[in-house]
């Protein structure tokens, strides 16, 4: 296992570059069964996707990310604006929590 030391300035720079690229966020739908057949879509360990209604919304940022999610989202990453990395917390041997704040 490699070193899990993270640099706040580097993370913030990469996040802000991704945001500034103004990638479109495209919703699409799959069935609960399709989601069950693709467990690799769920990359968070603590939050289950909203399933059980027969279909699950995916949010696709082409070339960047694809995740099941039932929350409210921007139409494009540029709507987020500048962010700063406030804190990085250790959450065990392999996990870190990065606390990000929106500017202004």
CA distance 92 to 37: 29
CA distance 68 to 58: 4
Check residue 91 and give its pLDDT.
86
**What pTM was computed for the model?**
0.77
**What average pLDDT does the structure give for the chain?**
87
Check residue 71 and give its pLDDT.
80
């Amino acid at each position: 296992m490699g070193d899990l030391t993270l640099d706040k300035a580097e993370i913030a720079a990469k996040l802000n570059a991704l945001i500034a690229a103004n990638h479109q966020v495209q919703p699409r739908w799959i069935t609960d069964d399709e989601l069950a057949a693709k467990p690799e879509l769920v990359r968070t360990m603590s939050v289950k996707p909203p399933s059980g209604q027969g279909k699950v919304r995916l949010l696709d940022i082409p070339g960047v990310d694809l995740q099941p999610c039932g929350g409210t989202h921007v139409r494009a990453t540029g709507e987020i604006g500048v962010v700063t990395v406030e804190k990085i917390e250790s959450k065990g041997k392999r996990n870190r929590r990065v606390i990000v704040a929106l500017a202004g």
